[in-house]
Amino acid sequence: MFNPRVIPVLLLKDLGLVKSKAFKDFRYIGDPINAVKLFNNLRVHELVFLDISATANKMVIPIEIIKSIGQEANMPFSVGGGIRTLNDIYNIIRAGAEKVIIGTYAFENPDFIKQASNEFGSSTIVVCVDVKTDFFKKQKVRVFNGHKSTGYSSVDYAKLMEDKGAGEIIIQSIDKDGTMSGYDVDLIKEVSTAVTIPIIALGGAGKVEHLKDAYNKGYASALAAGSMFVYHGSKNGVLINYPEKSELKFNRE
């Protein structure tokens, strides 16, 4: 039996928590610090916070919110949003985060990933790879919150980020985001088998069986989700939740 990392992903927008569907239709779901307190009680493995408005507003995820999270959280956490300089990373780590997550700027300046991993160690640097099916039914990596195509396939882009020194890669399906219908397991498997660094699956999880599918069939190293851990019931009432530890013991099939 194996206990993979199972990670709630929380989206920040104007310092509040929101949830999306296919990277749109944002819904306010509450206060981030209150969510941290609840996840403390549920003994989650780790947390991810992504400021989805930072890049568009040409800013970095606010240091004060990171400090507040760090003062409250009993678990390691990673943050992303508008990171573009080594000084940004230094300030974020000093504020309490264990890792940083870089999205758009990894595409704009791939050598920044190399610089960052050399400065802080590859284990500190995570690249978020957002993937969407285009008009021609090809899956391409997108940036700027899904608004711009990079032209890269998920495998080619993941290999590039690995070559540049990323310690982990989050593979997120935009098409699956918020659907709670299951991960894009084929996408996860393609990337997991193409690189040697850990892959975190994200986008589509709605129940424990979906986590198991991403682990057993997609070979993901870690399993992340948003809606699954903030919604409850058929009407998606907001309720912070997390599976029992006994439910998260997986066998690699």
List the catalytic residues: 130
- What are the helix (H) ranges across the chain? 32-42, 63-72, 86-95, 104-108, 110-120, 154-164, 185-192, 208-216, 227-230
The string of DSSP letters for 185-220 reads HHHHHHHHTT-SS-EEEES---SHHHHHHHHHTS--
Asked if residues 162 and 197 have their Cβ atoms less than 8 Å apart, the reply is yes
Is 176 within 8 Å of 208 (Cβ atoms)?
Answer: no
Contact 61, 69 (CB under 8 A): no
What are the CA-CA distances from residue 82 to residues 34, 58, 122, 151, 190 (Å)?
Answer: 24, 7, 19, 21, 28
Say which amino acid occupies 87: N
CA atoms within 13 A on the CB side of 98: 13
Where does residue 215 rank: exposed (0-12), middle (13-18), buried (19+ CB within 10 A)?
buried
